[in-house]
Amino acid sequence: MPKTTVLFASNIDDPAPWKALFARERPDVEFRIWPEMGDANDITHALVWRIPNGVLKSLPNLRAVFSLGAGIDQIVVDPDFPREKPLFRLVDAGLREQMTEYALYGVLHWHRRMRDYAAQQAAQQWKMHPAVHPSKRSVGVMGMGVFGSDIACKLASLGFEVSGWSRTPKSVDGVTSFAGEKGFSSFLARSEILVNVLPLTDETRGILSTRLFDQLPGGGALVHLGRGGHLVEADVIAALDTGKLDFAMMDVFPTEPLPAVSPLWTHPRAFVTPHIAAQPVDDAAEKLVIENFNRFERGEEPVGRVDLSVGY
Protein backbone atom coordinates (compact mmCIF):
# COMPACT_ATOMS: atom_id res chain seq x y z
CA MET A 1 0.00 0.00 0.00
CA PRO A 2 1.57 3.38 -1.02
CA LYS A 3 2.18 5.96 1.71
CA THR A 4 -0.60 8.47 2.32
CA THR A 5 0.56 11.82 0.98
CA VAL A 6 -1.24 15.15 1.26
CA LEU A 7 -0.65 17.94 -1.23
CA PHE A 8 -1.28 21.44 0.19
CA ALA A 9 -1.91 24.26 -2.28
CA SER A 10 -2.88 27.83 -1.51
CA ASN A 11 -1.89 31.28 -2.70
CA ILE A 12 -3.28 32.88 0.49
CA ASP A 13 -2.83 30.44 3.39
CA ASP A 14 0.37 29.87 5.34
CA PRO A 15 1.22 26.16 5.02
CA ALA A 16 3.21 26.09 8.30
CA PRO A 17 0.32 25.46 10.74
CA TRP A 18 -1.11 22.82 8.42
CA LYS A 19 2.23 21.08 8.12
CA ALA A 20 2.60 21.15 11.91
CA LEU A 21 -0.95 19.82 12.32
CA PHE A 22 -0.28 16.77 10.17
CA ALA A 23 3.13 16.21 11.81
CA ARG A 24 1.41 16.22 15.21
CA GLU A 25 -1.83 14.37 14.46
CA ARG A 26 -0.84 12.15 11.57
CA PRO A 27 2.94 11.61 11.61
CA ASP A 28 2.39 8.66 9.27
CA VAL A 29 1.24 11.04 6.52
CA GLU A 30 3.66 12.81 4.21
CA PHE A 31 2.88 16.50 3.70
CA ARG A 32 3.95 18.26 0.52
CA ILE A 33 3.48 21.87 -0.42
CA TRP A 34 2.67 22.97 -3.96
CA PRO A 35 4.62 23.52 -6.21
CA GLU A 36 7.08 21.06 -4.55
CA MET A 37 4.77 18.16 -5.39
CA GLY A 38 7.32 15.45 -6.17
CA ASP A 39 6.00 12.36 -7.93
CA ALA A 40 2.33 12.88 -8.87
CA ASN A 41 1.70 9.16 -8.25
CA ASP A 42 2.32 9.65 -4.51
CA ILE A 43 -0.45 12.17 -3.86
CA THR A 44 -3.52 10.62 -2.23
CA HIS A 45 -5.28 13.71 -0.78
CA ALA A 46 -5.31 17.41 -1.65
CA LEU A 47 -5.84 20.27 0.77
CA VAL A 48 -6.58 23.23 -1.42
CA TRP A 49 -7.62 26.87 -1.61
CA ARG A 50 -6.50 27.29 -5.22
CA ILE A 51 -4.28 25.15 -7.41
CA PRO A 52 -3.41 25.67 -11.09
CA ASN A 53 -5.86 24.15 -13.55
CA GLY A 54 -5.20 20.55 -14.50
CA VAL A 55 -2.99 19.64 -11.52
CA LEU A 56 -5.66 17.72 -9.59
CA LYS A 57 -6.61 15.78 -12.72
CA SER A 58 -2.98 14.76 -13.16
CA LEU A 59 -2.92 12.88 -9.82
CA PRO A 60 -3.71 9.22 -10.59
CA ASN A 61 -4.03 8.10 -6.95
CA LEU A 62 -6.01 11.08 -5.62
CA ARG A 63 -8.77 9.94 -3.24
CA ALA A 64 -10.31 13.18 -1.95
CA VAL A 65 -10.03 16.95 -2.00
CA PHE A 66 -10.51 19.12 1.10
CA SER A 67 -11.22 22.83 0.61
CA LEU A 68 -9.43 25.35 2.80
CA GLY A 69 -12.53 27.53 2.51
CA ALA A 70 -16.28 27.34 3.04
CA GLY A 71 -16.63 28.13 -0.64
CA ILE A 72 -15.33 25.80 -3.34
CA ASP A 73 -15.90 27.82 -6.53
CA GLN A 74 -12.19 28.72 -6.61
CA ILE A 75 -11.41 24.98 -6.85
CA VAL A 76 -14.08 23.82 -9.28
CA VAL A 77 -13.37 26.75 -11.61
CA ASP A 78 -10.70 24.39 -12.96
CA PRO A 79 -12.36 22.93 -16.10
CA ASP A 80 -10.36 19.75 -15.51
CA PHE A 81 -11.36 19.36 -11.85
CA PRO A 82 -11.85 15.60 -11.35
CA ARG A 83 -15.57 15.75 -10.56
CA GLU A 84 -15.76 12.09 -9.63
CA LYS A 85 -13.54 12.68 -6.56
CA PRO A 86 -15.22 13.59 -3.25
CA LEU A 87 -14.80 17.27 -2.37
CA PHE A 88 -15.34 18.52 1.19
CA ARG A 89 -15.66 22.15 2.28
CA LEU A 90 -15.33 23.96 5.61
CA VAL A 91 -18.65 24.01 7.46
CA ASP A 92 -18.66 26.89 9.97
CA ALA A 93 -15.11 26.20 11.24
CA GLY A 94 -15.07 29.42 13.29
CA LEU A 95 -16.21 31.52 10.33
CA ARG A 96 -19.94 31.73 11.15
CA GLU A 97 -19.74 34.25 14.00
CA GLN A 98 -17.49 36.51 11.91
CA MET A 99 -19.79 36.37 8.89
CA THR A 100 -22.70 37.28 11.14
CA GLU A 101 -20.75 40.13 12.75
CA TYR A 102 -19.89 41.54 9.33
CA ALA A 103 -23.45 41.34 8.04
CA LEU A 104 -24.91 42.88 11.20
CA TYR A 105 -22.29 45.61 11.14
CA GLY A 106 -23.21 46.52 7.55
CA VAL A 107 -26.94 46.50 8.28
CA LEU A 108 -26.56 48.59 11.44
CA HIS A 109 -24.07 50.97 9.81
CA TRP A 110 -26.68 51.99 7.25
CA HIS A 111 -29.76 51.61 9.45
CA ARG A 112 -28.26 53.94 12.14
CA ARG A 113 -26.91 56.37 9.46
CA MET A 114 -23.33 56.05 10.74
CA ARG A 115 -21.93 57.09 7.35
CA ASP A 116 -23.87 60.37 7.60
CA TYR A 117 -22.82 60.94 11.19
CA ALA A 118 -19.14 60.29 10.33
CA ALA A 119 -19.39 62.92 7.54
CA GLN A 120 -21.09 65.31 9.96
CA GLN A 121 -18.34 64.83 12.52
CA ALA A 122 -15.74 65.64 9.86
CA ALA A 123 -17.68 68.86 9.16
CA GLN A 124 -18.22 69.52 12.91
CA GLN A 125 -21.95 69.49 12.29
CA TRP A 126 -24.45 68.67 15.10
CA LYS A 127 -27.58 67.45 13.36
CA MET A 128 -30.06 64.73 14.36
CA HIS A 129 -31.82 62.51 11.82
CA PRO A 130 -35.13 60.80 12.60
CA ALA A 131 -34.85 57.26 13.99
CA VAL A 132 -36.42 54.20 12.29
CA HIS A 133 -37.58 51.30 14.45
CA PRO A 134 -36.05 47.97 13.24
CA SER A 135 -39.53 46.49 12.79
CA LYS A 136 -40.01 49.07 10.01
CA ARG A 137 -36.82 47.96 8.27
CA SER A 138 -37.01 44.91 6.01
CA VAL A 139 -33.84 42.92 5.47
CA GLY A 140 -33.49 40.14 2.89
CA VAL A 141 -30.80 37.50 3.26
CA MET A 142 -29.82 35.73 0.03
CA GLY A 143 -28.46 32.28 0.91
CA MET A 144 -29.90 30.62 4.00
CA GLY A 145 -27.23 28.00 4.69
CA VAL A 146 -24.73 27.81 7.54
CA PHE A 147 -23.99 31.55 7.42
CA GLY A 148 -27.21 33.04 6.06
CA SER A 149 -29.52 31.30 8.53
CA ASP A 150 -27.42 32.55 11.46
CA ILE A 151 -27.39 36.10 10.04
CA ALA A 152 -31.16 36.03 9.50
CA CYS A 153 -31.79 34.67 13.00
CA LYS A 154 -29.66 37.33 14.69
CA LEU A 155 -31.22 40.14 12.62
CA ALA A 156 -34.68 38.88 13.59
CA SER A 157 -33.64 38.82 17.25
CA LEU A 158 -32.76 42.54 16.92
CA GLY A 159 -36.33 43.19 15.76
CA PHE A 160 -35.77 43.63 12.00
CA GLU A 161 -38.32 42.28 9.57
CA VAL A 162 -36.32 39.51 7.96
CA SER A 163 -36.80 37.37 4.84
CA GLY A 164 -34.51 34.67 3.52
CA TRP A 165 -34.07 33.36 0.00
CA SER A 166 -32.70 29.90 -0.74
CA ARG A 167 -33.03 27.16 -3.32
CA THR A 168 -35.30 25.11 -1.06
CA PRO A 169 -37.78 26.53 1.51
CA LYS A 170 -36.53 27.05 5.07
CA SER A 171 -38.16 27.21 8.45
CA VAL A 172 -36.31 29.69 10.67
CA ASP A 173 -38.09 31.39 13.60
CA GLY A 174 -38.99 34.99 12.81
CA VAL A 175 -37.83 34.76 9.20
CA THR A 176 -40.11 34.64 6.13
CA SER A 177 -38.84 32.09 3.65
CA PHE A 178 -38.76 32.53 -0.12
CA ALA A 179 -37.36 29.88 -2.42
CA GLY A 180 -36.17 29.48 -5.98
CA GLU A 181 -36.87 31.56 -9.05
CA LYS A 182 -40.58 31.66 -8.14
CA GLY A 183 -40.03 33.47 -4.85
CA PHE A 184 -37.21 35.73 -6.04
CA SER A 185 -39.12 38.86 -7.17
CA SER A 186 -41.36 38.93 -4.06
CA PHE A 187 -38.27 38.48 -1.88
CA LEU A 188 -36.45 41.37 -3.58
CA ALA A 189 -39.48 43.66 -3.51
CA ARG A 190 -39.44 43.58 0.29
CA SER A 191 -35.65 43.79 0.83
CA GLU A 192 -34.81 47.38 1.72
CA ILE A 193 -31.48 46.04 2.89
CA LEU A 194 -30.11 43.09 0.94
CA VAL A 195 -27.47 40.80 2.45
CA ASN A 196 -25.79 38.44 -0.01
CA VAL A 197 -24.17 35.28 1.34
CA LEU A 198 -24.81 32.88 -1.52
CA PRO A 199 -22.23 30.45 -2.85
CA LEU A 200 -20.93 31.12 -6.36
CA THR A 201 -22.44 28.67 -8.84
CA ASP A 202 -23.57 28.73 -12.47
CA GLU A 203 -27.00 29.89 -11.20
CA THR A 204 -25.74 32.68 -8.94
CA ARG A 205 -22.90 34.15 -11.03
CA GLY A 206 -23.58 37.82 -11.79
CA ILE A 207 -26.74 37.85 -9.68
CA LEU A 208 -25.98 41.31 -8.22
CA SER A 209 -26.88 43.06 -11.44
CA THR A 210 -29.16 45.82 -12.70
CA ARG A 211 -31.93 43.24 -13.13
CA LEU A 212 -31.80 42.57 -9.38
CA PHE A 213 -31.23 46.16 -8.25
CA ASP A 214 -34.28 47.26 -10.29
CA GLN A 215 -36.48 44.95 -8.21
CA LEU A 216 -35.42 46.32 -4.80
CA PRO A 217 -37.62 48.93 -3.10
CA GLY A 218 -34.99 51.59 -3.97
CA GLY A 219 -32.81 53.87 -1.85
CA GLY A 220 -31.71 50.99 0.39
CA ALA A 221 -28.48 49.16 1.10
CA LEU A 222 -26.48 46.15 -0.06
CA VAL A 223 -24.21 44.11 2.20
CA HIS A 224 -22.27 41.71 0.00
CA LEU A 225 -20.08 39.03 1.55
CA GLY A 226 -20.71 36.06 -0.75
CA ARG A 227 -18.29 35.84 -3.68
CA GLY A 228 -16.82 38.36 -6.09
CA GLY A 229 -18.36 36.59 -9.08
CA HIS A 230 -21.85 37.54 -7.85
CA LEU A 231 -21.17 41.21 -8.40
CA VAL A 232 -21.49 43.05 -11.71
CA GLU A 233 -19.28 45.97 -10.77
CA ALA A 234 -20.57 48.42 -13.40
CA ASP A 235 -24.16 47.67 -12.34
CA VAL A 236 -23.56 48.28 -8.63
CA ILE A 237 -21.81 51.57 -9.48
CA ALA A 238 -24.78 52.60 -11.65
CA ALA A 239 -27.21 51.65 -8.84
CA LEU A 240 -25.20 53.75 -6.37
CA ASP A 241 -24.94 56.68 -8.80
CA THR A 242 -28.66 56.76 -9.48
CA GLY A 243 -29.64 56.28 -5.82
CA LYS A 244 -31.32 52.93 -6.53
CA LEU A 245 -28.89 51.88 -3.80
CA ASP A 246 -27.98 54.39 -1.13
CA PHE A 247 -25.11 52.34 0.23
CA ALA A 248 -23.12 49.20 -0.54
CA MET A 249 -20.75 47.47 1.84
CA MET A 250 -18.74 44.93 -0.14
CA ASP A 251 -16.15 42.39 0.94
CA VAL A 252 -15.66 40.37 -2.25
CA PHE A 253 -15.07 41.51 -5.84
CA PRO A 254 -14.85 40.04 -9.35
CA THR A 255 -11.07 40.72 -9.27
CA GLU A 256 -9.21 40.51 -5.97
CA PRO A 257 -7.37 42.54 -4.85
CA LEU A 258 -9.81 45.19 -6.11
CA PRO A 259 -7.87 46.92 -8.93
CA ALA A 260 -6.57 50.44 -8.21
CA VAL A 261 -8.64 51.76 -11.13
CA SER A 262 -11.96 50.58 -9.65
CA PRO A 263 -14.31 53.52 -8.97
CA LEU A 264 -15.54 51.61 -5.91
CA TRP A 265 -12.41 52.59 -3.96
CA THR A 266 -13.47 56.23 -3.85
CA HIS A 267 -17.22 56.05 -4.37
CA PRO A 268 -18.88 58.07 -1.60
CA ARG A 269 -21.63 55.47 -1.12
CA ALA A 270 -19.35 52.41 -1.15
CA PHE A 271 -17.63 50.75 1.78
CA VAL A 272 -14.90 48.35 0.57
CA THR A 273 -13.20 45.67 2.68
CA PRO A 274 -10.51 43.22 1.44
CA HIS A 275 -12.22 39.79 1.69
CA ILE A 276 -12.03 39.76 5.48
CA ALA A 277 -15.65 39.09 6.46
CA ALA A 278 -14.41 35.80 7.90
CA GLN A 279 -10.84 34.62 8.31
CA PRO A 280 -9.39 31.48 9.89
CA VAL A 281 -9.10 31.96 13.64
CA ASP A 282 -7.49 29.77 16.29
CA ASP A 283 -7.37 26.25 14.93
CA ALA A 284 -11.03 25.67 14.11
CA ALA A 285 -10.40 24.96 10.42
CA GLU A 286 -7.45 22.70 11.22
CA LYS A 287 -9.56 20.71 13.71
CA LEU A 288 -12.37 20.25 11.20
CA VAL A 289 -10.05 19.23 8.37
CA ILE A 290 -8.09 16.70 10.41
CA GLU A 291 -11.33 15.21 11.78
CA ASN A 292 -12.71 15.02 8.26
CA PHE A 293 -9.47 13.54 6.96
CA ASN A 294 -9.50 10.84 9.66
CA ARG A 295 -13.17 10.09 9.08
CA PHE A 296 -12.58 9.68 5.38
CA GLU A 297 -9.63 7.38 6.01
CA ARG A 298 -11.78 5.23 8.34
CA GLY A 299 -14.46 4.96 5.66
CA GLU A 300 -16.89 7.24 7.55
CA GLU A 301 -18.68 10.23 5.97
CA PRO A 302 -16.88 13.54 6.62
CA VAL A 303 -18.97 16.72 7.04
CA GLY A 304 -19.35 19.20 4.20
CA ARG A 305 -19.50 16.98 1.14
CA VAL A 306 -20.08 19.23 -1.85
CA ASP A 307 -22.88 18.30 -4.20
CA LEU A 308 -21.33 19.14 -7.55
CA SER A 309 -24.66 18.65 -9.33
CA VAL A 310 -25.89 21.90 -7.66
CA GLY A 311 -22.43 23.47 -7.37
CA TYR A 312 -22.09 24.01 -3.60
> What is the set of active-site residues?
227, 275
- 20-49 binders of ligand OXD (CB under 6 A): none
Whole-number CA gyration radius for the chain: 21
Q: Which of 277, 225, 213, 227 is nearest to 255 (CA)?
A: 227
Instruction: State the minimum distance, in angstroms, from the CB of residue 30 to ligand NDP.
Output: 29
Contact window for ligand OXD (CB under 6 A) among 33-41, 68-76, 183-191, 207-215? 68-76
Contact call for residue 146 and ligand OXD (CB under 6 A) = no
Contact call for residue 199 and ligand OXD (CB under 6 A) = no
Contact call for residue 76 and ligand OXD (CB under 6 A) = no
Instruction: State the minimum distance, in angstroms, from the CB of residue 142 to ligand OXD.
Output: 16
Which DSSP letter does residue 138 get? Answer: E
CB neighbours of 165 closer than 8 A, spacing ≥ 6? Answer: 140, 141, 142, 143, 144, 178, 179, 183, 184, 187
Burial-class residue 215 by CB neighbours within 10 Å (0-12, 13-18, 19+).
middle
Instruction: Give the Cα-Cα-Cα angle 64, 35, 75 (nearest 5 degrees).
Output: 45
Q: Smaller CB distance to ligand NDP: residue 59 or 155?
A: 155
The single residue among 66, 69, 147, 248 that binds ligand OXD, judged by CB under 6 A, is 69
Q: Strands, E, within 118-207: which ranges?
A: 138-142, 161-166, 175-179, 193-196
Measured between alpha carbons, how far is 40 from 12 in angstroms, rounded to an integer? 23
Contact window for ligand NDP (CB under 6 A) among 6-14, 142-150, 255-263, 293-301? 142-150
Contact call for residue 164 and ligand OXD (CB under 6 A) = no
Q: Is the dihedral of CA 110, 114, 120, 122 positive or negative?
A: negative
Binding mask 215-254 for ligand NDP (x = CB under 6 A): ----------xxx-----------------------xx--
Instruction: State the minimum distance, in angstroms, from the CB of residue 173 to ligand NDP.
Output: 16
Residue whose C-beta lies closest to ligand OXD = 69
